[in-house]
A and B are shown apart, each in its own frame.
Chain A
Amino acid sequence: MIEQARRAFEKPVDASGIAAFRFTFGALIVLSVVRFFAYGWIDELYTKPKFFFTFWGLPFVSPLSGHGMHVVFAAIGLLAMMVAIGAFYRAATVLLFALFTYVQLVDVTNYLNHYYLVSLLAFLLCFIPANATWSVDAWLSPARESKQLPALHTYLLRFQIAVVYIYAGIAKANADWLLHAQPLNIWLNARTNTPFIGGLFALPYAAHVMSWAGFLFDTTIPFFMLQKRSRPYAFVVIVVFHSLTQVLFPIGMFPAIMATSALIFFSPGWPRSLLRRVGIKVSHVQMGSHRATIGRRAIALVSLYAVIQVTVPLRHRLYGGDVSWHEQGMRFSWKVMSREKNGSVTYNVTDPATGRTWEVAPRKYLTERQLNDFSTQPDMILQLGHHIGQEHRRRLGHDVRVTVDAFVSLNGRRAARLIDNNVNLIDISDGVGIAHWVLPKPAHDPPHFVPVS
């Protein structure tokens, strides 16, 4: 079986599909960087905040001071451009992966599923010779140009995109989404005046229909894209689906990244065929003239990567309860747009020496944008609680007790306490174990709201 897999992986395919992937990937990152500069997000995300939430195990990652982060983003833009055109590709992809991942790790509130996807794709491109053809590198060094590549590279990228879709679908396989149509009911109700389509959102069962459609789309689309006969129709559905989400929700580059990435499911020679169809002359590629060898070690590494990608999104199962509530295992799991959640957090600090208790408002440390994300996520609430405790310890010269009033409303439910307010956060360590200090999700089902136009 391994031998069979190896033969399939080694099978030479047209390299133009991978080249097109490389170009669109690089171009979209360039566009993202332009958006960051244009909208002032670099200052908003990296200069303005006084406090940064670090990822578990990575407390040393911090933003650069001064204009450092602007330089980093400019470098990301430049590197992405180099990747797009295939110039000094190897060095550019490695640096792009490193810098892009770094900026995502600076603050947990910046986490977005599509940025995580970009990091993973950049990582994969470090090992994929996507500059084999249609690149500056190939133009500068024609002897090293290769019009075909082992199929493994295409399979790997397809696998990555399929993982995103399928797990995004699995994240919707719950009662809130499928039975109660939440949070789509809430989101569509707020968009009943959207031009042309808003009226549809006010129809009975619109949220249910769209919830099921979204669930079925995510869980099945990779399989339809893998079938030659259904692929063109499936791609049209992808474009329509992502266009709709782009219109309705503020999800930035995600629809564009997913729609263009899905092109990897087409036959590896699709760009060459397309160019021929529009009358542009491109050379013909004779398949099988060169067959690369993929060693056992490479197959083992690819398998390991695949196992990690399949298991990491499932880790929330180990914690029990509802991941949308306790958030343990929420990140790096492709739970894309799966809940509507808002919180309110107030810390209470008690000085054991005097018995005096006072409040500390998170807004003293966080920007409005950070507050929005932080207020529903227990690990971040704990992290800021520790910071507040340390700050008071420095000022007072002794330990204080830090508790928190954290209330959260999930998918329209009445607000409930997220964290046990009797627990001294200073006594709690963040980790990968079950967070017993997080209270259970309210038992009642979410309500269904009536659309009002």
Chain B
Amino acid sequence: MTSRFALFVFAAATLSSCKRASPATADAGVSKASEATREGVLRGIGECVAAEVASFATKAAAFEQKAKSATSAPSDVTRKEAQEAWAAAIDQWERLEVMQFGPAATKSHPGGQDLRGSIYAWPLTSRCLIDQQIVSKAYAETTFSTSLTSSRGLGAAEYLLYYTPADNGCSAGANINTDGTWNALGAAEIAARRLSYAGAVSSDVMSTAKTLNAAWDPAQGNFVNELVKSVHGSATYKTDQVAFNAVSDALFYVEADVKDMKLAQPLGILNCTTPTCPEAVESPYAKRSLVHIVNNLAGFRTLFFGCGEGSALAFDDLLNAVGASDTTASVKAALTEAETALASITSPDLETAITQENDKLRAVHAALKKLADTLKTEFRTVLDLDLPQRVEGDND
């Protein structure tokens, strides 16, 4: 597991940074900057996200298939296959976590359809609610897809597929414990229902992934076009500046969610009254919290430096084109520093790393703070980016 994680991190960091690794690609970056237009950058970003969403839809379909197999023919093998398919899906989704604008965003954002919550509601996942639904079999109802997101999505699936003890996450005073309905199920039935529940979750995730993919698919919703047309005012974005604001807002996931919630809190740096808070890790059952951070950063790199190993136009090209290559360099340096520090961690999971490689985790956190500081200051200033709600306000 240790070596596999290190290999994964190395591969992700190498793949995602290869554009800047050779002089030839560096030259390509310069020429790309000279070709950059605001429309071109929005198109590049949109097409990147559309490809990432399509990839997720494929992985969500595979997860649904494997989860259904595990439900219909429960065994260690089918469970393992379902877990692997879940891991592939969540790995892809963690890249998309940094791209929450347009249909994935909440309805208060331009073009938002609130789709993210049904796919991955973290940090709102509620183990107790899931356990209550295991008892009530609410996951088998037709209304399941409209139930609280904290009992659905890939976060719920992680618990259902990876947690094997027969206890539940509710307090002793909760109904399922006081009325004895949980204990009455017995270990075998609990295990079976967890798999059935995971199957229902996988279908729900697949359904939402289809909707999201349809929204971005050029042959259907073609949301890329909403970004591109914003230079003349689109139905979703009144101006290209509003579109850039929406995309840049999504980038700040690396600060509030990755730096603070996924790292600083478990490390005891933020919102933690004890020396460390390992219970606050993102992936407590599958132990993939570190991999999630790697994928978040890979998603950030894709959105900021362009997909296709950086060949597509993105924010770096716009910054370079306007003459703010210093800012590009700062973002790149901080991101690479974070990726390198992550790659140096040999612990199998975040919980272990907190105790055994605390310094390395703090180095990742420090690098992400540099990244966030640059984004909030120079990046926003140079491109005149603002918070969406501010755009609607008075300001002199």
A340: Cβ under 8 A from any B Cβ: yes
Residue among B323, B384, B391 with the highest chain A CB neighbour number at 10 A: B384
Binding site for B on A (CB under 8 A): 39, 41, 44, 112-114, 186-187, 189-195, 249-254, 336-337, 340-344, 346, 356, 358-361, 363-364, 368-369, 372, 375, 405, 407-412, 414-415, 447-453
A341 neighbours in B (Cβ, 8 Å):
381
Q: In whole Å, how far is A22's beta carbon from the nearest beta carbon of chain B?
A: 23
B26: Cβ under 8 A from any A Cβ: no
Partner of A414, one of B272, B326, B392: B326
Given A113-B396, A114-B396, A449-B323, 12 more contacts at CB 8 Å? Answer: A44-B389, A189-B384, A192-B38, A252-B396, A336-B396, A341-B381, A364-B271, A368-B390, A414-B326, A415-B374, A450-B321, A450-B322
- Name the residue of chain B whose CB is nearest to the CB of A111: B396
CA separation between A194 and B38, bound complex, in Å?
Answer: 12
Per-position 1/0 for B87-104, Cβ under 8 A of A: 000000000000000000
- Asked if residues A452 and B322 are in contact (CB atoms below 8 Å), the reply is yes
- Asked if residues A254 and B394 are in contact (CB atoms below 8 Å), the reply is yes
B323 neighbours in A (Cβ, 8 Å):
447-450
Per-position 1/0 for B72-114, Cβ under 8 A of A: 0000000000000000000000000000000000000000000
B127: Cβ under 8 A from any A Cβ: no
- Asked if residues B324 and A193 are in contact (CB atoms below 8 Å), the reply is no
CA separation between A409 and B233, bound complex, in Å?
Answer: 29
CA separation between A344 and B275, bound complex, in Å?
Answer: 25
B382: Cβ under 8 A from any A Cβ: yes
Per-position 1/0 for B281-319, Cβ under 8 A of A: 000000000000000000000000000000000000010
B221: Cβ under 8 A from any A Cβ: no
- Asked if residues A409 and B384 are in contact (CB atoms below 8 Å), the reply is no
CA separation between A42 and B391, bound complex, in Å?
Answer: 17
Residue among A193, A254, A336 with the highest chain B CB neighbour number at 10 A: A193
- Asked if residues A368 and B387 are in contact (CB atoms below 8 Å), the reply is yes
- Name the residue of chain B whose CB is nearest to the CB of A416: B377
Q: A359-B269, A415-B373 known; A337 and B381 CB under 8 Å?
A: no
A361 neighbours in B (Cβ, 8 Å):
260, 270
CA separation between A126 and B128, bound complex, in Å?
Answer: 62
Q: A341-B381, A448-B323, A453-B38 known; A359 and B270 CB under 8 Å?
A: yes
30 residue pairs bridging A and B, Cβ less than 8 Å apart: A44-B389, A112-B395, A113-B396, A186-B382, A189-B322, A193-B39, A252-B396, A253-B394, A336-B396, A340-B381, A340-B384, A342-B378, A343-B376, A358-B269, A358-B272, A360-B270, A369-B387, A369-B389, A407-B376, A409-B377, A409-B380, A412-B381, A414-B326, A415-B374, A415-B378, A448-B323, A449-B322, A450-B321, A452-B318, A453-B38
A195 neighbours in B (Cβ, 8 Å):
232-233
- Asked if residues A415 and B377 are in contact (CB atoms below 8 Å), the reply is yes
- Asked if residues B394 and A250 are in contact (CB atoms below 8 Å), the reply is yes
Number of B residues whose C-beta is below 8 Å from A? 48
CA separation between A343 and B378, bound complex, in Å?
Answer: 9
Q: In whole Å, how far is A169's beta carbon from the nearest beta carbon of chain B?
A: 14
Q: In whole Å, how far is A329's beta carbon from the nearest beta carbon of chain B?
A: 17
- Asked if residues B378 and A409 are in contact (CB atoms below 8 Å), the reply is yes
A192 neighbours in B (Cβ, 8 Å):
38
B36 neighbours in A (Cβ, 8 Å):
452
A409 neighbours in B (Cβ, 8 Å):
377-378, 380-382
The 6 lowest CB-CB distance pairs between A and B, nearest first, are A252-B394, A415-B377, A190-B384, A344-B376, A409-B377, A409-B381
Partner of B256, one of A186, A251, A254, A363: A363
Q: In whole Å, how far is B30's beta carbon from the nearest beta carbon of chain A?
A: 14
Partner of A186, one of B264, B373, B381: B381
Q: Which of B225-258 contact A (CB under 8 A)?
A: 231-233, 239-241, 244, 256
B37: Cβ under 8 A from any A Cβ: yes
Q: In whole Å, how far is B221's beta carbon from the nearest beta carbon of chain A?
A: 23
- Asked if residues A250 and B324 are in contact (CB atoms below 8 Å), the reply is no
B180: Cβ under 8 A from any A Cβ: no
Q: Which of B333-370 contact A (CB under 8 A)?
A: 369
B372 neighbours in A (Cβ, 8 Å):
344
B381 neighbours in A (Cβ, 8 Å):
186, 340-342, 409-412
A360 neighbours in B (Cβ, 8 Å):
270
Q: A340-B381, A359-B264 known; A250 and B318 CB under 8 Å?
A: no
CA separation between A407 and B334, bound complex, in Å?
Answer: 15
B390 neighbours in A (Cβ, 8 Å):
250, 368-369, 372
- Name the residue of chain B whose CB is nearest to the CB of A448: B323
CA separation between A187 and B369, bound complex, in Å?
Answer: 27
Q: Which of B37-54 contact A (CB under 8 A)?
A: 37-39
CA separation between A36 and B383, bound complex, in Å?
Answer: 29
Q: In whole Å, how far is B370's beta carbon from the nearest beta carbon of chain A?
A: 10
B37 neighbours in A (Cβ, 8 Å):
452-453
B23 neighbours in A (Cβ, 8 Å):
none
A191 neighbours in B (Cβ, 8 Å):
239, 241
B241 neighbours in A (Cβ, 8 Å):
190-191
CA separation between A2 and B369, bound complex, in Å?
Answer: 63
CA separation between A451 and B264, bound complex, in Å?
Answer: 39
Partner of B232, one of A193, A253, A340, A358: A193
- Name the residue of chain B whose CB is nearest to the CB of A341: B381
A39 neighbours in B (Cβ, 8 Å):
392-393
A363 neighbours in B (Cβ, 8 Å):
256
- Name the residue of chain A whose CB is nearest to the CB of B388: A368
A451 neighbours in B (Cβ, 8 Å):
322
B244 neighbours in A (Cβ, 8 Å):
190
- Asked if residues B377 and A407 are in contact (CB atoms below 8 Å), the reply is yes
